[in-house]
Every structure is written in structure tokens, then in C-alpha cells.
Structure 1
Amino acid sequence: MKLNSTTLLFKTMIMMGMMISLSSSNWIMLWSGLELMLMSFIPVMNSMKVMYTESAMKYFIMQSISSAMLMMSIMMSLTMINNKMLMMGAMLIKLAIAPMNMWFISTVEGVSVSMLFTMLITMKITPMMIMSYLNMKPNTIIISSLMITALLIINQTSIKKVIGHSSVFNFTLMLSITAMSSLWMNFLLIYSLLTWSMINLMKTIKIKFINQIMINEQSNLIKLNIWILMMSFMGMPPLLGFMNKLMVFELMMMTKEIMILTIMVTSSMMIAFMYMRLSYSSMIMQSTKMKWMSITNKKKMKIMWINMINLITIMYMM
């Protein structure tokens, strides 16, 4: 969908729904804000392409099931029945935490690049806030999500699916610290910045698959920025992405969650292997085929300034 008055209206309603949910003082208004976000996101997500329409239908069905579960849990709260487990299940579906993430990965592939950030970050802020309200830590779900995501991301060739699996993994890390600290907000802020940088890179150099990085020759500046961004996603010090894993691992050590910490480190290494494929493809591989549309100096400077943000970790720590 092109940027017109209708698109602007729906995007404004998405932000309004998020503000209503985050500032509400009762469950009904919170549910209403979530529904407003969903009903505004579906028309923006849809288009004339068949793949986008299919993804919109999948997203609508799963989000409707989650909203129905949330409303049922709100009704159960009027009785003496414990509704926390049902509400947590509804939020896990909205967050697409494994093993309930396969619908999300297939949906991400059919979303346009311009709406990818809204689906990955904006639509998940309110469910994360609700999980912090519940003050629960589902260790079994966290462990299974970490292991499943690490195994599934290795065999991916689509960059959209890689970003989708990375979103599931990082939100699982956030879920592991919501019951202990409010640092998940700092985690979300840093991850949002990195995701926006990655999506902007995809739009600038026009890539959708990993092999396109190999067959399209870029300038040395673009290659350097891709490499820095991938290293930041891996959590390599002293880049900005290192702060996220440092916060989570430190909290796990303080609470003596050694088993979950071990699985986190192992799965992080497996996901880091995927990002190394992307960075090595951009830095080492050479090609004899140039891109049809060359990248202007203005776009090169834009990518450079975005990725220079990854180098301010020391200032952030101070």
C-alpha cells in the first residue's frame, strides 16, 4: 500500500492503539487498544499481491485467537478461577514465542519491508508489557523457544526469515527477565534500533536472500557497515548489541539460573554462526556482476551513520 492519507490514518491508529493499551488502568481498555492495533495493521499489511494477502489472513486468524483467549481470561478474573495461565498463553501467541512461532515466520516472508518493523517491534510492545504485569517466568517455554529458534535459523536463506527468527530469540531473552527486572525495556530499545538498521540496509541495497549478497558487488564502505551490523547482532563487544546479552546473562548469574544461562549461551553461538555467514558473504565473496542500480553517496552516508550507533556501547555503559 502506497503512502497516502488512508495509510497515514491506519498508521496513526496503530500508534493510538498502542498508547491506549500502555496507559490503560483496566483490562477492557487494554484489550480495546490491542484490537485497535490489529484492525489498523491488517489493511496496511494487505495489498494486491497474493503472498501479502495470505500473510494478512494468517496474522489475523492467529491474533484473533489470542484476543479471544485474552478476553476469556479477563472474564475469568471476575470469578475465583486463576486466569494467569490462559492470559500468558494468549500473550505467547502474540509474541510468537516458540513452539508457537511457525505461523509468524511464514507471515514475515509475506510482509513488505516497509511494514516489517511495525510487525516485529511495534505490535509486540503491549504483549511484553502485559507479561511484565503477570510477573511470571515460564522456564519450560523459554528453554524450548531458545533451542527451537537456534535450530531453525541455521537452515534459512531468506533475510526476512532470519530477522523473524532473531526477533523470536530476542523476545525470548526479554521474556526471561521480565519477572526479575525492568531492564527488558532497555533491551527492547537497543534491539529496536538494531532491527531498524537492518531493515533500512535491506531497503537500501535491495536484498532479500543471502545469496544476493554474494552475487552483488558492493563498495568497501557498504561491506564494512554490513559487517559491523552483523557483529552487533551477534553480540560482539564493544558493539551496542553486546549490552543486551550482557544484561540478560548478568541477571541469570545473579539469580543462579545456570541451566537457562547455559542454553542461552549455546543457542547464541548457533545464531551467531548465521550472522557470520551474512558478514563473510559481504566481506569476502567477490563477484563479476554489478548491481543494476548503483547506490548513491547519500545512501552510503545514511548507512554509515546508522551503523556508527553500534560503536557507542562504552558511552551507554557509562
Structure 2
Amino acid sequence: MKLNSTTLLFKTMIMMGMMISLSSSNWIMVWSGLELMLMSFIPIMNSMKIMYTESAMKYFIMQSISSAMLMMSIMMSLTMIDNKMILTAAMLIKLAIAPMNMWFISTVEGIKVNMLLTMLITMKITPMMIMSYLNLKLNMIIIMSLIITALLIINQTSIKKIIGHSSVFNFTLMLSITSMSSLWMNFLLIYSLLTWSTINLMKTIKIKFINQIVINEQSNIMKLNIWILMLSFMGMPPLLGFMNKLMVFELMMMMKENMILIIMISSSMTISFTYMRMSYSSMIMQSMKVKWMSITNKKKMKIMWINMLNMITIMYTI
């Protein structure tokens, strides 16, 4: 959807819903703000393409389930029944914390690039604020989310899915420090800046997969930008992303959460491998076009004969 008056109206309603939820003093207004954000975001996601429509339906169904659970927890609070478990589950679905993140990754893959920042950041601010109000320690969920995210991101080649898994990982880190400090807001600010930079980079060089970084022709300055941005996501000092991980690791050490800290470091190293692949592809690898143009016609004929032989071999193996 192009930036017209309708899109501007829906985006304004999203911001209004977020402000209503954050500034309200009762649960009904929190629920109303979240519903206003959802009903304003779905029309922006919708498109004539089947893939976009499918993602919009998935997002609507999961958010509706979460909103129903939130309303159920509000009703349970009126009867003096402990509602923290249902309320926490509802917020974890909205945050797409593993193992409730598989719908989120498939939805991110089918969404337009222009809507990624809204889905990854804006729609998750209110649930994170609610989780900070609850002040709960969710060590088992945090450990599970870190391990699952680190395992799922290893073989990913789609940049959208990598950004989606990175969002789950970073919001898990934020969730781990909500019960200790309000520094998760600083974490969110830095992560939002890095995500915005990555999405703008995708739009500029028009890539969707890691392999396209090698194939496309890019200037040395653009390759340097990709390399620095990926190093920042990895948490390399003295870049901006290093401050986020240092903040979380220091709080874990202060609270003597050694088990979670070890898992955080291990999963962070695993996820850094994916960012390293992207930075390696941008800086070390030369373009395939340059390689092909540098090959002589005689060598090109040999390559074509080898490809023909491979195709014949495939026919016999079927």
C-alpha cells in the first residue's frame, strides 16, 4: 500500500492505540488500545497478492486469540482469581516469544518491507510495557526461547526471516531484564535504530536473500555499510549493538543468573554466525557478474558442458 491519506490515517490510529494503552490506568482501556492497533494494522497489511493476504490472516488470528486471553484474564481479575498465567501467555503471543514464534516467522516472510518496522517494533511496545508491570521472572521461557531461536536461525537464507528471528532473540533479552531494571527501554531504542537501518538497507539494494548480496553489484561504500551494520548486530565493540548485550550481561551477573548468562552467550554466538555470513558475503565475495565477465569464451563453453552433464545426471537419478 502506497503512502496516501488512507495509510496515513491507519498509521495515526496505530500510534493513538499505543498511546491509549500506555497511558491508561485500567485494563479495559489497555485492551481497547491494543484492539485499535490491531484493527488499524490489518488493512495496511492487506494486498492483492495471496502471500500478503495469508500473512494478514495469520496475524489477525493469533492476535485475536491473544486479545481474547487478555479479556479472559481481565474478567478473572474481577473475581479475585489469579490471572497472571493467562495474562502472561497472552503477552508472550503478542511478543512472539518462542515457542510461540512460528506463526510470527511465517508472517514476517509474507509481509511487505514497508510494514516490517511497524510489526517488529511498534506493535510490541505495549506488550513489553505490560510485562514490565507484571514484574515476573520467566527463566524457563527465556531459556527455551534463546535455544529455539539460536537453532532455527542457523540455516536461514531469507533476510526477512533472519530479521524476524533476531527480533525474537532481542525481545527475549529485553524480557529477561524487565523484572530487574527499566533499561530495557534503552535496549529497545538501540535495537529499533539498528532494525530501521537494516530495513532501509534492504529497500535500497533490493535484496531478500543472502545469496543476492553476492550476485548484485554494489559499491565499496555500500558493502562497508552492510559489514559495519552486521558487526553491530553481532555486538562487536565499540559499535552500538555492543552496548545492548553488555547491558544485559552485566545485569545477569549482578543478579547471579549464571545459567541464563551462559545460554545467552552461547545463543548469541550462534546467531552471530548468521550475521557473519552476511558480512562475509558483502565484503569478501566478489560479484558473480564480475567473475562471469572475466571468464574467456572457451572456459564458458566448458562450464556449459559441465552444466549439461549435471542436468543429464539429474535425469537418471530421478
Corresponding position of 1:201: 201
Gaps of 5+ in 2: 291-318
**Alpha-carbon distance in 2 for matches of 1:137, 1:64:** 26
- CA shift for structure 1 position 288: 4.2
Q: After TM superposition, where is structure 1 displaced by more than 3 Å over at least 4 residues in a row?
A: none
- CA shift for structure 1 position 5: 1.0
Corresponding position of 1:243: 243
- CA shift for structure 1 position 172: 0.1
Please tell me whether residue 16 in structure 1 is matched to residue 11 in structure 2: no
Corresponding position of 2:37: 37
Deviation string for 1:31-62 (max 9, x for gaps)? 00000000000000111110000000000000
Aligned residue runs from structure 1 range 1-318, under 5 A: 1-289=1-289
**Alpha-carbon distance in 2 for matches of 1:160, 1:215:** 18
Alignment partner of 1:44: what SS? helix
Deviation string for 1:73-125 (max 9, x for gaps)? 01111112100111000000000000000000000001100000000000000
- CA shift for structure 1 position 152: 0.2
**Alpha-carbon distance in 1 for matches of 2:183, 2:144:** 23
Amino acid in structure 2 at the alignment position of 1:161: K
- CA shift for structure 1 position 287: 1.6
Gaps of 5+ in 1: 291-318
Deviation string for 1:193-247 (max 9, x for gaps)? 0000000000000000000001112111001110000000000000000000000
The normalised TM-score by structure 1 is 0.90
**Alpha-carbon distance in 1 for matches of 2:213, 2:137:** 39
Amino acid in structure 1 at the alignment position of 2:114: S
**Alpha-carbon distance in 2 for matches of 1:289, 1:201:** 21
- The CA RMSD measured in Å over matched residues stands at 0.7
Instruction: Check whether the contact 2:150–2:270 (CA below 8 A) recurs between aligned residues.
Output: yes
Alignment partner of 1:164: what SS? helix
- CA shift for structure 1 position 289: 2.3
Deviation string for 1:281-307 (max 9, x for gaps)? 0001112427xxxxxxxxxxxxxxxxx
CA radius of gyration, larger in: 2
Q: How many aligned residue pairs are there?
A: 290
Amino acid in structure 1 at the alignment position of 2:213: I
Alignment partner of 1:289: what SS? helix
The normalised TM-score by structure 2 is 0.90
Deviation string for 1:107-161 (max 9, x for gaps)? 0001100000000000000000000010002111000000000000001010000
**Alpha-carbon distance in 1 for matches of 2:85, 2:246:** 30
Alignment partner of 1:103: what SS? helix
Identity of aligned residues (%): 88
Corresponding position of 1:303: none
**Alpha-carbon distance in 1 for matches of 2:287, 2:241:** 30
